[in-house]
């Protein structure tokens, strides 16, 4: 399952990197609602590998945080420190191993859970919360922080291995099509020779 895949991908090192970085800056930024979210429900979801429950717990925690937290204080706090910590942690992790593990795991279960009607309802609640808290005004500063920290490089590191894995089967299909075309041409040539031979005999 997904949890096993994440454990196999040395998530412990990822967590250690996050803890070692000064993530306390985020906690100090008046986001108690985020830290006081239903951690027990989230832990149970992780232990049971119940992706649907995990998604619901994350949605509820995020909605609570967005509706109760001081968004301006969150943006004005040292967001760059948090972004740097996340970037360093992901850079130190074995991205290739993580991608391979996620693909080998039962990703269908995650897709099914995300497609579930209940999750769709939670997404609506999340969207409403984002609109109600007028987060749109705070998006630009956050985007600038992400750009300044070269998140493009991080995205490329995550996407390129996945694209290669997806493209390899397509390349095999193209090669198979070329071989099939060559075989058909050879058969047609043999048939033409056989027909000519029969005409000459007659």
Report d(CA 149, CA 80) in Å as an integer.
8
- At CA 38, angle to CA 32 and CA 41, rounded to 5? 160
Report d(CA 93, CA 15) in Å as an integer.
10
Mean pLDDT of 128-157: 54
Mean pLDDT of 148-175: 56
Residue 108 reports pLDDT greater than 60: no
Domain residues of the chain, as ranges? Answer: 2-149, 164-202
What is the pLDDT of the chain when averaged over all its residues? 55
Mean pLDDT of 143-150: 54
Per-residue pLDDT at 104: 58
Structure token digits, residue 29: 């930024």
Helix H, strand E, coil C: the string for 45-64 is HHHHCCHHHHHHHHHHHHHH
Report d(CA 151, CA 84) in Å as an integer.
10
Per-residue pLDDT at 37: 47
pLDDT digits (tens, 9 = 90+) for 3-40: 455 455 555 555 555 555 544 444 444 444 444 444 55
Residue 64 reports pLDDT greater than 60: yes
Per-residue pLDDT at 15: 56
CA-atom Rg of the chain in angstroms:
26
């Amino acid at each position: 399952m997904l949890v096993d895949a994440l454990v196999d991908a040395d998530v412990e090192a990822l967590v250690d990197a996050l803890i070692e970085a000064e993530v306390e800056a985020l906690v100090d930024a008046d986001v108690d609602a985020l830290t006081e979210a239903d951690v027990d429900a989230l832990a149970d979801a992780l232990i049971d590998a119940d992706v649907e429950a995990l998604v619901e717990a994350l949605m509820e925690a995020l909605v609570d945080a967005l509706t109760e937290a001081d968004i301006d204080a969150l943006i004005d706090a040292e967001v760059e420190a948090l972004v740097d910590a996340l970037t360093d942690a992901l850079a130190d992790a074995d991205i290739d191993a993580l991608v391979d593990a996620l693909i080998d795991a039962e990703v269908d279960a995650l897709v099914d859970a995300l497609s579930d009607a209940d999750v769709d309802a939670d997404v609506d609640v999340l969207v409403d919360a984002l609109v109600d808290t007028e987060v749109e005004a705070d998006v630009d500063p956050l985007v600038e922080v992400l750009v300044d920290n070269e998140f493009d490089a991080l995205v490329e590191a995550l996407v390129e291995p996945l694209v290669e894995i997806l493209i390899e089967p397509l390349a095999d299909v193209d090669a198979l099509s070329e071989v099939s075309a060559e075989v058909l041409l050879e058969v047609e040539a043999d048939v033409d020779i056989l027909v000519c031979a029969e005409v000459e005999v007659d």
